[in-house]
Amino acid sequence: MNTNRTDISTALIGSGPELCNLLAALSTRSKLLHLNIIACIDLGPSPDGRTKELAGQIGIPIVGTHLEDLRRGPGPDLAVLTIASDDVAAALRGILPPGTPLLASPHLPLLQGVIRLVEENRALRMDSFRLKETRLRLNQFVETASLAIYIKDADLRFKKVNRHALRLLGVREEDLIGRRNFTVFGGSGARWLHRIEQETLKMRRTLHATGSLPIRGAEVHVKVTLFPIIENGLVEGLYGLVEDMTQLFESEQKRRQADVQLNETQKYLREVLENSRDIIFLTDPQGHILSFNSGAENSLGFSGGEVEGSAAHNLLVQTEVFSEMLQTALKDGHTTRYEVPFRSKDGHPVVCDVSMTLIEGPDGKPLEMVCLCRDITTRLRLKNDLIRAERLAAVGQMAAGVAHEINNPLAVIDTIAGMVEETIEDEMGRLDAPSRELLLNAMHRLHAQVQRVTTITHSLLGFVRKADPGIREIDLNDLLEECLYVMGVEIRRSGTRVVRLFEPKIPRFSSDPMLLEQVFVNLIKNALDAMAEVPDRESVLEITTNFSANSVTVRIQDNGIGIKSEDRDKIFNLFHTTKPAGYGTGLGLAIVHDILYRLGGSIRLASEPGQWTRFVVELPLQPPAPLRPDPSISNIPGRGRPGKDPFSGQ
């Protein structure tokens, strides 16, 4: 009654979980056992209907709940009863065909053992298949991998080597099998690899190492991975994977060298930028200062900590100039502008030529702005001084011509004055005594003034032509009286009261009286002009003389309009004047400064705006020999910077 020559038709009879578990176990293993389940009788039946559900899934043709249901189909070759009941077994034998084997409850453990044995056998077959497949794939990988792979025994002799390793070493496999590292590599490379392999066998775990091996006459940098081979608890050998890292190593070496060179270049650049005397600072694309070099700190007076993070346009006198340049540089990558005034910490302008360059990041977006500013303040000052010097030279040439032209009519005037004197002497008898005396005094004054004008023009010519002064002994008090006499008309016209505080025992000293007269007349004239600007105040001119072991001192003080603090540093500069247009040339005090410098003297000032001004002249008892060079053609430090007034403590 078999439906298949190799399969046994089987009927399952029972109840409860035992029948359900047996049905579930046979449902996936029936083919392995060569069983064909044709009937399932649940005498229970199972309240959850699980047995019927499993039978339906398997496709068992006869499913019932009574033994009589077995009569609906052909008789089975084997019957399995899961319940221990003699009555059920006897009834079942009456329904089954004669001679049909019956596995009752006592025989179920045997059936379950057979099921487990079949399952284990099936698992072994699957494991064997997978192992073969894994070995095949492993062999394919070993032979085709771009790594040098080898197998060694416990004595660290080569047993197997892949094709890549043979190509790398340049040998045949039969020349390598059974040999050790020292006969293949030699030297320190062999000792290094041997030590790592011994450690792998000893520690019984995977190890990684990098080093170099001498292969075919060259040092090859490799990365080695070693796996111990352990069978039945014993170390039988190891697998070795060797990766050629030479190109990577050389690339890394080149990268490190490039990093070193880059670091050195950056260090050098930082030192250049930091020690540069130019003003160099970096900003972000929004114009905020990121760094500030020492040149900027020295030129502008700000420290890096004071300005970093702040808006860079605050450094400029005209803030909008920086904003315009920043936008241009962001657009075009670079921009320049000349003679841009910066604002120093002490308020003095610092004029610079400015260059701005954009630095972009790897993504092409603006990263930083480099601002290079060359301080040209001194150059502009020298340029302006040169222009003034050229103007002074032109004025000097003109003055020389004017002085020469004045001398001619002066000679005529002097001659006529002499003729008038002779006529007065001839007509003396016809003139009354008062008239005769008046005319003679007038002619005498005329001769004196002509001589004075002649002396002044000669001094002017000497100043222009750089003539050597005439040095002789001088009585300082007498010289000052002569100057007051020369300025007598203006003094009387202005109603100025002159206070003489002359030291009577001042020693005579050597200097040029004509040049000193020019100095003191200029200072007295300036004092009168300053006091004229305060008409509601009595004008008082105070002149004081003093001396020390090596010098004489003259102090000329007025109670006029005074000098503003911003003008004091420039009062001795050429062409600088505080007088209204048309009332001063700016030459007087510059000439005074130059004369005193040549004679070895000095001049200082102190002033209280609106109250008074004091000039202090100090002269040596003996001028330098030879005299100092003329400042108009020499760069004399300190010009335009008055010294401290020893009388006032200022």
59 in the Ramachandran plot: left (φ > 0), alpha (ψ -120 to 50) or beta? left
Q: Mind listing the pLDDT tens digit for each residue in 433-451?
A: 787 788 778 877 787 787 7
pLDDT at 648: 40
Before 626, cis peptide (omega within 30)?
yes
Q: pLDDT at position 442, please?
A: 80
- The whole-number pLDDT of residue 588 equals 59
**SS3 for 173-236, per residue?**
HHHCCCCCHHHHCCHHHHHHHHHHHHHHHHHCCCEEEEEEEEECCEEEEEEEEEEEEEECCEEE
How many Å apart are CA 67 and CA 15, to the nearest integer?
A: 12
Please indicate whether the domains covering 8-120 and 468-633 agree at the CATH topology level. no
Q: What's the alpha-carbon Rg for the chain, to the nearest Å?
A: 61
Q: Which residue would you say has higher pLDDT here, 647 or 4?
A: 4
CA distances from 500 to 316, 384, 503 (A): 52, 41, 9
Question: What's the CA gap between 577 and 142, in Å, rounded?
Answer: 100
pLDDT at res. 464: 56
Calculate the alpha carbon distances from 133 to 136, 397, 539 in Å: 5, 114, 125
Cα gap 27→35, rounded to integer Å: 10
Mean pLDDT to the nearest integer, 531-559: 92
Q: Quick: pLDDT tens for 20-63.
A: 878 777 776 666 677 788 888 888 776 677 878 888 877 888 88
How confident is residue 642, by pLDDT bands cut at 50, 70 and 90? very low
pLDDT of residue 462: 57
List Cα–Cα distances, 404 to 80, 401, 458, 459, 469, in angstroms: 157, 5, 9, 12, 19
CATH class assigned to 8-120: alpha beta
Tokens representing residue 314 in the block? 């605050």
Of 138-142, 221-225, 353-357, 472-476, the one with minimum mean pLDDT is 138-142
Out of 402-406, 456-460, 520-524, least confident range: 456-460
**H or E stretch covering 160:** strand 158-161
Least confident of 38-52, 132-146, 574-588: 574-588
Residue 311: its H or E element: none
Model pLDDT for residues 275-325, shown as the tens digit of each residue: 778 888 989 999 999 888 888 888 888 988 888 899 998 899 888 999 999
User: Is the pLDDT score of 389 beyond 70?
Assistant: no
619 — pLDDT class (breaks 50, 70, 90): very high
pLDDT band for position 585 (50/70/90)? very low
Q: Is the pLDDT of residue 360 over 60?
A: yes
Beta carbons within 10 angstroms of residue 469's beta carbon: 19
3-state helix, strand, coil in the chain (%, to 5): 50, 25, 30
Can you give the three-state secondary structure of 24-85, one letter per residue?
HHHHCCHHHHCEEEEEEEECCCCCCCHHHHHHHHHCCCEEECCHHHHHHCCCCCEEEECCCC
CA pair distance 272, 274, nearest whole angstrom: 6
Q: How many CB atoms lie within 10 A of CB 72?
A: 10
Helix residue ranges per DSSP H, 204-317 = 246-275, 294-300, 304-307
> 579: pLDDT confidence band, cut at 50, 70 and 90?
low
Per-residue model confidence (pLDDT) at position 286 = 93
- Tell me what the mean pLDDT of segment 528-554 comes to: 92
Calculate the alpha carbon distances from 327 to 104, 320, 369, 413, 642 in Å.
101, 11, 11, 73, 45
Question: Residue 467 phi/psi, 5° resolution?
Answer: -75, 150
Q: What is the CATH number of domain 277-374?
A: 3.30.450.20
In the chain, % of residues over pLDDT 70? 82
Which residues are within 8 A (CB) of 35 and not within 5 positions of it... i.e. 6 or more apart? 7, 8, 10, 26, 78
For 351-362, give the secondary structure using H, E and C: EEEEEEEEEECC
- Residue 650: its pLDDT value, please? 39
How high does pLDDT run on average in the chain?
80
The tokens 């016809």 sit on which residue? 430
| Phi/psi of residue 9, nearest 5 degrees | -70, 130
pLDDT of residue 616: 94
Q: Given this model, what pLDDT does residue 137 score?
A: 72
b/e string for 599-610 if b means 16 or more Cβ within 10 A? bbbbbbbbbeee
Share of the chain above pLDDT 90, in %: 18
Q: Which residue has the higher pLDDT, 238 or 410?
A: 238
How far apart CA 295 and CA 342 sit, in angstroms, is 14
User: According to the model, what pLDDT value does residue 420 have?
Assistant: 77
CB neighbour list of residue 637: distance below 8 Å, 6 or more residues apart: none
Q: Note the pLDDT of residue 499.
A: 93
Mean pLDDT in residue range 408-416: 77
What pLDDT sits at residue 647? Answer: 33
Question: pLDDT class for 581, splitting at 50, 70, 90?
Answer: very low
Task: For residue range 247-281, list pLDDT tens digits in order.
Answer: 777 787 888 888 888 778 767 777 777 777 888 89
Residue 176: what pLDDT?
Answer: 84
Cβ count near 131 (within 10 Å)? 10
In terms of pLDDT, which residue wins out, 556 or 583? 556
What is the C-alpha to C-alpha distance for residues 398 and 59, in angstroms, rounded to an integer?
A: 137
State whether CATH 3.30.565.10 applies to domain 468-633. Answer: yes
What three-state secondary structure class fits 599?
coil
Q: What does the pLDDT average to over 552-578?
A: 78
Domain ranges in the chain are 8-120, 145-244, 277-374, 381-460, 468-633
> Lowest-pLDDT range, 193-197, 267-271, 533-537, 611-615?
267-271
Closest by CA to 26, choosing from 6, 54, 53, 46, is 54
The pLDDT, as a whole number, for residue 29 is 65
pLDDT greater than 90 at residue 498: yes
Strand partners, 556: 543, 615
The superfamily in CATH containing domain 145-244 is PAS domain (3.30.450.20)
Which pLDDT band holds residue 649 (cuts at 50, 70, 90)? very low
> Rounded to an integer, what distance in angstroms lies between the CA atom of residue 39 and that of residue 92?
13
pLDDT number for residue 518: 84
Residues 100 and 79: beta-carbon distance below 8 Å: yes
